[in-house]
């Protein structure tokens, strides 16, 4: 529970952090997709949650905004907030996540740190491991042969 003054201070801090200070008095309806993403994330962070659930937090963002979101998520994670995120961009999961779960057909088919996943599979990257586990490696081999 935040009192009004604390919420105001925290809101101003978050607007600055997300580079939205100059737009703080505008209606969100006029914001771009990226600005809406940042606003939603700032709102979720307002109360310093212990856990955070995000679905594709960087989809549709320009590279600068995506990097800002990733940096902020890494920072809140390092300060002890549990961050759960879904992404189809496997490089993001590989670089950002302490633990990864691979889901295929609605089922969790593998979990672990990147080192644990690499130890149990031939792939070096999360993409390689994902394709190995989900049967997509055959398509990758065909594409490589056609190139």
Domain extents in the chain: 88-147
Q: Cβ(23)–Cβ(34) under 8 Å?
A: no
Q: Does position 61 have pLDDT exceeding 70, yes or no?
A: yes
Q: Does position 123 have pLDDT exceeding 70, yes or no?
A: yes
Mean pLDDT of 72-90: 93
């Amino acid at each position: 529970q935040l009192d009004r003054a604390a919420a105001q201070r925290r809101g101003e801090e978050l607007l600055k952090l997300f580079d939205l200070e100059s737009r703080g008095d505008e209606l969100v309806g006029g914001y771009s997709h990226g600005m809406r993403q940042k606003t939603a994330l700032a709102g979720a962070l307002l109360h310093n949650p212990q856990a955070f659930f995000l679905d594709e937090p960087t989809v549709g963002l320009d590279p600068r905004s995506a990097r800002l979101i990733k940096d902020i998520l890494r920072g809140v994670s390092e300060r002890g907030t549990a961050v759960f995120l879904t992404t189809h961009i496997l490089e993001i999961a590989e670089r950002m996540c302490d633990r990864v779960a691979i889901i295929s057909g609605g089922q969790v088919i593998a979990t672990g740190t990147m080192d644990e996943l690499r130890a149990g599979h031939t792939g070096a990257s999360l993409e390689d491991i994902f394709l190995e586990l989900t049967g997509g490696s055959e398509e990758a081999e065909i594409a490589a042969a056609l190139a």
